[in-house]
């Protein structure tokens, strides 16, 4: 309300009552093709006096009128633009209810030449095809090919489209792909192919009478499943099936689906079918008026199996009823048919019709939530090789036990089909109608020590395969057998009493247990014997299941429980027999169960000189005496594999025995190759320990060790010279007998990025700048004097850990650095860093007698930077100390050196540590050692970079779970499009870190998304794009492209220092994700938000994310990092051009990183009045921070639910390249 101190004239009051002019916008964009139509929106801006608008184009005649949808609202009109090209105006006024007219406002649109596309459509036989519908999307522009196959689409705007062509209905010939059309008279020939899945399954439509099935299944209600046997082996996606699971929800599965799965319309479905036929997958109910039935008709090649869902109704609507069926043929053909189809829901508006492979890796959908079905309209799905009959054979034989007697009533299982049969008279078994393939035949007899037989057969003719049961040696290589007691009372009592106690005993002969030979063992009051060295006395009162890596290991547990040896009990030993058939008895006599000792038990273990281990038990009658709380069995020395007889089960019987017999000695063999290239390595030495055996590789790289006893072994290949073998040259493996294959590779030609490693004597170079740092589990930042090169990146910041490593990525964002060393390479987790040099990663402490020292030597470009850990001690042992260092050379070479290493102390030599180098995401590394005592004073390890090779990036693009065809994927200036199943592959990508950008030009998930990938030589990286439905206002397309830098010298903003922000008035309305803004808040930390964030945001976080402390939304992030605007830097803005094509530029000039003040950058966010944004970068020197390694780059919507994140703390920016975000057109 306005007040006057004078009497206003009526004329002036009338002028003040005139409405404000309307805003004029173009919802579908301001560019339109000649002859096309332009959508114009007129808006009163909330002035409720306005009821209508007058408008005209090219002149101010204002001859057209349109009413506002509501008073003060808007109106949308469509106008024909004619053929006049160039920039043209739309004029408009607002009119109120009293007829008062506002002043004139205008909007500018541009008319461009209409594009056209023509060509010829060729069918699968390369003949011209008439009647093909050719369509461009978005826009729905289409044409139909003529008798000579020619087509022409005209009158549309230039741009990027998806072109599709269809002929012959839903199962006809098709084509789909992306296309960019820049003008008139462009040509494009279309080559049709059959509608099919990746493996070549096709479909066809025909009119066929509905076949009623006769036998009703006991399958009723909602969400129920029943199993049916098939009358023949049904071939489906490479498998052959003799049974199926029928779901009330219109689904037929050939593998166990794990219950019923209604289809709710959600894409992707919460539980997708696998190895399934979906004649009508929906949410269905089989009530009293409905049934599910089966029938078998015909014979031979004409035999058919029918599954009919009769008169079922859609859940929640009993009026929506239909009948449908799936008909299976012996050649793998599937036919679906329908009856009682009356409305859209019954026509499939909410259902899926199609077939899907096991694991869902391939599928052919006839329809998804589309009302296209009809009564008696059958759909036939045909296998690509269904022309002739399947090759079927029989498999038969007899089953005998270990002494050759027939075994009757045993179950014989055939994999991968899962079918089974039972042996009959004489132990005979028989399978018929099996598809030619490889099968595994297995029989496993009942019982904890049941005999087994498992054989691989190649079935390409009728085959007789006799089976003979034998011991089940399991994963540990020990078979158990049960029998009568044979208890031997031991004579010599040990001085071992009390609760949770143990003592070491000397064995009377070397005891062989799982590959190791022991001369002493540790007897525990709690009913077990353990072997090998341990650190301290492990707790044994709480008995775990086995295997477990927790100590104790190398366990023989006749009855591990919480037991006590009191005055009424004892533990005794005795040696029996004479060599080589001696036995050693350890007996627990009358020991009590804690805590009351009210119940007692007597048992023993007997170690036989031939390697057998026997448990013997005395009287027992209660569940606790029978093992209801005990662990019984054997475990290997690493706690990785066990022969568990029972755990917390009352499985033991009185006066019985359990004897474990090791498997016969077997073979360990494999092939040695060169890492990365895969070339065989001949003449190399491979060692097997324990046993200290060695073998020399043959010309094809093969090696073999025969007569290897059961056990855990370390197989190691050596290079024979000073080249490091790397992490793939050794493997610790469990050999359970038989043949064990262990393939190894040596990294003599470098790792996947080209680093080579050598060892040699090295003079230690002490640091001359001694830091005052002390502590445990501590990290200190100290930046190197020159960019340190590591796996293609150049780092200007470093974090030195007390635990013997340097990481070049900030632990505050990439996880703390722990003291428990692990193998490398491995992805970053808390406690395990990446982008690191592991000089000797272990739990070291820098105390008052220790120091971290550094040194800089030489002149550029040949400088060296030394970081030394001097006299550090291992945690908990101040007498175990070591000195070691890393020397970084400016040319990228990395050298590790060691001093004061006690050769008698395994820890100082690396026995519990990790030594090596690793890249930024833990995907590539060169591990010199992991828990191997290989280090010595005066030793040097040198890592030398070499030019990396090429790799590839592959993956799948999906839209809400559905594969996207024709999407564009760009990596490292290389582009490809996705196949019909959504897959892609980009080859010949240089090793390094890149952004992979997927762009879907149209559809529900239109727009771009980005992933960061690290590519190695001869490796393929997976980058899947699981796109969600495009958010409101979304659909931006992202591209890496040159963006010219022009200095913004317009306005100097009052942003200085660290962590500041200020508001700026935008020179024109800016739209971001469908919302329009007039003010921006510019943050010194490299971002601009269009909603007041309330504070600056120095720490870059992933986007999208809901608004929070120092996490803005509705923002452009050209380079979000902790930047500082000092006296040598500034933040500026400028406006370029004229309306409606102005640009607003925000420039961060020469700002420096808080993390590394020597890192300075200049970059810009360029906002286009016509829509879209560009990010420009200048002086990118290729170092980690300047490439975005500590930044977030992208755009984000107002509520933090949608964004395009080009990178989050990954170095993917490239010198000379900027980013362009193209705004959606609708």
> If you average pLDDT over residues 1032-1044, what whole number do you get?
95
Which run of H or of E encompasses 10? helix 10-16
State which residues form the domain around 1136. 1040-1222
My answer on whether 795 and 917 are in the same domain is yes
Q: Which of 627, 647, 662 is the last residue of a domain?
A: 662
Contact residues for 10 (Cβ-Cβ < 8 A; gap 6+): none
Label residue 271 by pLDDT band (50, 70, 90).
low
CATH number for the domain spanning 400: value is 2.60.40.10
Q: Which of 407, 441, 468 is the endpoint of a domain? A: 468
**Residue 723's CATH number:** 2.60.40.1120
Report how many domains make up the chain. 9
In the chain, the percentage of residues whose pLDDT exceeds 70 is: 97
Residues 707 and 731 placed together within one structural domain of the fold: yes
Distance of alpha carbon 347 from alpha carbon 338, whole angstroms = 9
The verdict on 644 and 788 lying in the same domain is: no
Domain finish residue from 632, 662, 692? 662
What is the pLDDT, as a whole number, of residue 1179? 87
In the block, which residue shows the tokens 């469908």?
1074
896 pLDDT tier (thresholds 50, 70, 90):
very high
Residue closest to 839 by CA, chosen among 852, 855, 858, 826: 852
Q: Report if residue 702 sits inside a domain.
A: yes
Whether residue 163 sits in one domain with residue 281: no
Ordered DSSP codes for 250-310: TEEESS--SS-----S-SS-SS--SSEEEEEES-EEE-TT-EEEEEEE--GGG-EEEEEEE
Q: Are residues 500 and 530 in the same domain?
A: yes
Residue range 739-756, pLDDT digits in tens: 999 999 999 999 999 999
The answer as to whether 20 is a domain residue is yes
- Helix/strand/coil for 760: strand
Task: Note whether residue 3 is domain-resident.
Answer: no
Residues in the chain: 1226
pLDDT at 274 over 80: no
Is residue 723 within 8 Å of 702, Cβ to Cβ? no
| pLDDT per position as a tens digit, 1076-1092 | 999 999 999 999 999 99
- The region, left, alpha or beta by phi > 0 then psi within -120 to 50, assigned to residue 638 is alpha
Q: CB neighbours of 1041 closer than 8 A, spacing ≥ 6?
A: 1217, 1218, 1219, 1220
pLDDT digits (tens, 9 = 90+) for 807-825: 999 988 887 888 899 999 9
Q: What is the pLDDT of residues 389-446, one digit of tens each?
A: 567 788 999 999 999 999 999 999 988 777 889 999 999 999 887 888 889 999 999 9
How far apart are the C-alpha atoms of 1212 and 257, rounded to whole Å?
A: 43
Q: At residue 469, does pLDDT exceed 50?
A: yes
Average the pLDDT over 514-530 and give the result.
96
Give the residue-averaged pLDDT of 668-689: 96
Q: Within this chain, do residues 219 and 239 fall inside the same structural domain, yes or no?
A: yes
**Cis before 6 (ω within 30):** no
Q: Does the residue 944 lie in any domain?
A: no
Give yes or no for a contact between 489 and 602, defined as CB atoms under 8 angstroms apart. Answer: no
Do residues 166 and 249 both lie within one domain? no
Calpha distance 1088→1061 (Å, rounded): 9
Sequence-separated contacts (24+) of 413-422 with Cβ below 8 Å: 413/441, 413/442, 413/443, 413/444, 414/439, 414/440, 414/441, 415/439, 415/440, 415/442, 416/239, 416/440, 417/233, 417/239, 417/240, 417/241, 417/242, 418/243, 419/242, 419/243
Cα angle for residues 266, 269, 274 (degrees, 5° grid): 155
Is 2 domain-assigned? no
In this prediction, residue 7 carries a pLDDT of: 52
- The residue with tokens 């009413």 is 67
- Is there a single domain that holds both residue 1206 and residue 1096? yes
107 and 119, same domain (yes or no)? no
* Alpha-helical runs (H) found in 72-227: none
Question: Model confidence at 321, in pLDDT bands (50, 70, 90)?
Answer: very high
Are 1017 and 1146 found together in one domain? no
In this structure, is residue 5 part of a structural domain?
A: no
In a domain, 945, yes or no: no
CA-closest candidate to residue 472, choices 495, 498, 497, 453? 453
Q: Confirm if 308 and 330 have CB atoms less than 8 A apart.
A: no
Query: Is residue 267 pLDDT above 50, yes or no?
Result: no
pLDDT digits (tens, 9 = 90+) for 747-796: 999 999 999 999 999 999 999 999 999 999 999 999 999 999 999 999 99
Mean pLDDT along residues 184-198 = 86
Q: Which residues of 750-768 are buried (b: 16+ CB within 10 A; e: fewer)?
A: bbbbbbbbebeebebbebe
Q: Quick: pLDDT tens for 793-808.
A: 999 999 999 999 999 9
pLDDT > 90: percent of the chain = 80
**Predicted pLDDT of residue 11:** 52
> Does residue 319 sit within a domain?
yes
pLDDT at 360 over 80: no
H/E element, 112:
strand 105-112
Tell me what pLDDT residue 873 has: 98
Q: First vs last Cα of the chain: how many Å apart?
A: 40
Same domain, yes or no: 255 and 354 = yes
pLDDT of residue 389: 54
**Which residues lie below 8 Å from residue 536, measured CB to CB, with a gap of 6+?**
none
Indicate if the pLDDT at residue 188 is higher than 80: yes
What value does the mean pLDDT of the chain take? 93
Same domain, 231 and 99: no
Burial zone of 234 (CB within 10 Å; 0-12 exposed, 13-18 middle, 19+ buried): buried
Question: Could you tell me which residues are beta bridge partners of residue 874?
Answer: 844, 877
Predicted local distance difference test score (pLDDT) of residue 893? 98
Does position 270 have pLDDT exceeding 50, yes or no?
no
Q: 1108-1126: per-residue pLDDT in tens?
A: 888 999 999 999 999 999 9
Residue whose entry in the numeric block shows the structure tokens 């036998």: 215
The DSSP letter of residue 651 is -
């Amino acid at each position: 309300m306005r007040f006057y101190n004078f009497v206003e004239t009526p004329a002036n009051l009338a002028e003040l009552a005139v409405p404000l002019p309307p805003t004029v916008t173009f919802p579908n964009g301001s560019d339109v093709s000649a002859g096309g139509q332009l959508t114009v929106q007129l808006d009163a801006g909330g002035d409720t006096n306005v009821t209508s608008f007058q408008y005209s184009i090219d002149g101010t005649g204002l001859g057209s009128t349109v009413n506002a949808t509501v008073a003060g609202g808007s109106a949308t009109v469509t106008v024909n633009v004619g053929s006049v090209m160039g920039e043209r105006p739309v004029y408009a006024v607002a009119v109120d209810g009293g007829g008062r007219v506002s002043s004139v406002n205008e909007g500018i649109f541009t008319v461009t030449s209409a594009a056209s596309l023509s060509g010829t459509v060729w069918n699968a036989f390369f003949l011209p095809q008439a009647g093909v519908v050719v369509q461009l999307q978005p826009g729905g522009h289409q044409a139909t090919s003529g008798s000579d196959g020619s087509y022409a689409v005209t009158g549309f705007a230039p741009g990027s489209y998806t072109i599709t062509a269809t002929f012959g209905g839903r199962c006809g010939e098709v084509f789909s792909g992306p296309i960019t059309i820049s003008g008139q008279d462009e040509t494009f020939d279309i080559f049709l192919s059959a509608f099919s899945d990746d493996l070549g399954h096709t479909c066809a439509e025909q009119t066929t009478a509905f076949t009623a099935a006769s036998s009703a299944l006991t399958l009723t209600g909602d969400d129920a499943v029943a199993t049916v046997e098939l009358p023949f082996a049904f071939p489906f996606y490479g498998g052959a099936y003799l049974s199926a699971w029928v779901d009330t929800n219109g689904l037929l599965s050939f593998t166990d689906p794990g219950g019923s799965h209604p289809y709710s319309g959600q894409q992707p479905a919460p539980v997708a079918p696998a190895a399934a036929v979906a004649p009508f997958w929906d949410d269905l109910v089989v009530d009293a008026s409905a049934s599910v039935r089966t029938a078998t008709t015909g014979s031979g090649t004409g035999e058919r199996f029918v599954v009919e869902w009769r008169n079922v109704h859609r859940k929640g609507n009993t009026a929506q009823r239909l009948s449908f069926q799936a008909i299976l043929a012996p050649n793998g053909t599937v036919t679906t048919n329908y009856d009682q189809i009356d409305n859209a829901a019954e026509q499939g508006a909410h259902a899926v019709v199609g077939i899907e492979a096991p694991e869902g890796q391939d599928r052919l959908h006839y329809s998804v939530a589309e009302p296209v079905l009809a009564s008696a309209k059958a759909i036939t799905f045909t296998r690509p090789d269904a022309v002739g009959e399947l090759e079927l054979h029989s498999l038969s034989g007899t089953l005998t036990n270990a002494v050759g007697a027939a075994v009757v009533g045993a179950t014989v299982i055939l994999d991968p089909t899962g079918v089974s049969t039972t042996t009959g008279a004489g132990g005979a078994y028989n399978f018929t109608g099996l598809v030619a393939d490889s099968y595994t035949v297995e029989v496993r007899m009942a019982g904890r020590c049941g005999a087994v037989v498992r054989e691989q057969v190649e079935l390409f003719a009728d085959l007789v395969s006799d089976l003979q049961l034998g011991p089940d040696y399991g994963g540990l290589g020990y078979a158990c057998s049960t029998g009568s007691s044979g208890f031997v009372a031991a004579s010599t009592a040990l001085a071992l009493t009390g609760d949770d106690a143990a003592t070491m005993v000397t064995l009377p002969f070397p005891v062989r247990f799982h590959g190791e030979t022991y001369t002493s063992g540790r007897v525990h009051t709690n009913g077990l014997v353990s072997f090998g060295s341990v650190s301290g006395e492990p707790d044994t009162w709480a008995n775990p299941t086995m295997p477990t890596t927790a100590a104790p290991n190398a366990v023989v547990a006749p009855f591990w429980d919480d037991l006590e040896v009191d005055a009424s009990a004892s533990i005794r030993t005795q040696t029996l027999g004479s060599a080589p058939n001696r036995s050693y008895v350890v007996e627990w006599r009358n020991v009590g169960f804690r805590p009351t000792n009210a119940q007692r038990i007597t048992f023993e273990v007997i170690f036989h000189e031939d390697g057998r281990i026997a448990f013997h038990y005395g009287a027992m009658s209660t569940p606790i005496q029978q093992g209801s709380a005990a662990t019984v069995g054997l475990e290997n020395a690493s706690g990785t594999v066990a022969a568990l007889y029972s755990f917390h089960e009352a499985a033991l019987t009185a006066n019985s025995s359990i004897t474990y017999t090791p498997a016969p000695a077997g073979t360990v063999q494999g092939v040695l190759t060169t890492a990365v290239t895969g070339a065989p390595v001949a003449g190399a030495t491979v060692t097997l320990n324990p046993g200290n055996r060695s073998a020399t590789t043959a010309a094809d790289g093969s090696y073999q060790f025969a007569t290897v006893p059961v056990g855990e072994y370390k197989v190691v290949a050596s290079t024979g010279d000073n080249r490091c073998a790397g992490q793939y040259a050794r493997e610790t493996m469990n050999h359970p007998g038989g043949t064990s294959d262990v393939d190894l590779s040596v990294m003599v030609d470098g790792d996947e990025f080209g680093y080579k490693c050598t060892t040699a004597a090295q003079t230690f170079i002490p640091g001359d700048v001694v830091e005052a740092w002390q502590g445990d589990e501590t990290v200190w930042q100290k930046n190197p004097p020159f960019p340190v090169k590591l796996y293609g990146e150049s780092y200007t910041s470093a974090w030195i850990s007390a635990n013997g490593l340097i990481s070049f990525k900030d632990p505050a964002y990439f996880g703390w650095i722990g003291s428990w060393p692990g193998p490398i390479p491995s992805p970053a987790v808390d406690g395990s860093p990446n982008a690191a040099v592991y000089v000797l990663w272990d739990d070291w402490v820098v105390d008052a007698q220790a120091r971290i020292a550094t040194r800089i030597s030489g002149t550029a470009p040949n400088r060296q930077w030394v970081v030394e850990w001097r006299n550090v001690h291992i945690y908990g042992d101040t007498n175990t100390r070591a000195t070691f260092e890393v020397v970084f050379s400016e040319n990228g070479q990395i050298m590790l050196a060691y001093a004061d290493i006690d050769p008698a102390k395994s820890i100082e030599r690396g026995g519990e540590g990790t030594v090596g180098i690793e890249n930024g995401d833990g995907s590539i590394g060169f591990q010199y050692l992991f828990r191997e005592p290989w280090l010595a004073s005066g030793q040097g390890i040198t890592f030398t970079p070499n030019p990396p090779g090429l790799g590839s990036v592959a993956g799948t693009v999906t839209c809400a779970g559905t594969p996207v065809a024709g999407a564009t994927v760009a990596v490292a200036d290389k582009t490809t499009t996705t196949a019909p199943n959504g897959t892609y592959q980009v080859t010949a990508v240089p090793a390094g870190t890149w952004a992979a950008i997927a762009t879907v030009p149209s559809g529900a998930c239109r727009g771009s998304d980005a992933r960061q990938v690290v590519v190695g030589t001869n490796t393929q990286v997976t980058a899947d794009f699981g796109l969600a439905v495009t958010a409101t206002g979304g659909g931006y397309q992202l591209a890496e492209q040159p963006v010219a830098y022009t200095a913004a010298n317009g306005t100097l903003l009052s942003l200085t220092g660290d962590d500041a922000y200020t508001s700026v008035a935008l020179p024109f309305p800016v739209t971001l994700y469908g919302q329009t803004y007039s003010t921006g808040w510019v943050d010194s930390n490299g971002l601009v938000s269009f909603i007041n964030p309330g504070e600056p945001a120095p720490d870059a976080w992933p986007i999208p994310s809901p608004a929070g402390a120092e996490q803005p939304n509705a923002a452009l992030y050209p380079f979000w990092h902790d930047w500082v605007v000092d006296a040598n830097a500034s933040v500026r803005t400028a406006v370029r051009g004229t309306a409606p094509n102005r640009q607003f530029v925000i420039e961060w000039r020469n700002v420096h990183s808080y993390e590394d003040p020597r890192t300075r950058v200049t970059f810009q966010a360029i906002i286009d009045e016509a829509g879209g944004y560009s990010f420009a970068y200048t002086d990118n020197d290729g170092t980690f921070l300047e490439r975005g390694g500590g930044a977030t780059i992208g755009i984000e919507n107002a509520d933090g639910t949608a964004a395009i994140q080009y990178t989050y703390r990954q170095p993917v920016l490239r010198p000379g390249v900027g980013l362009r975000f193209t705004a959606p057109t609708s």
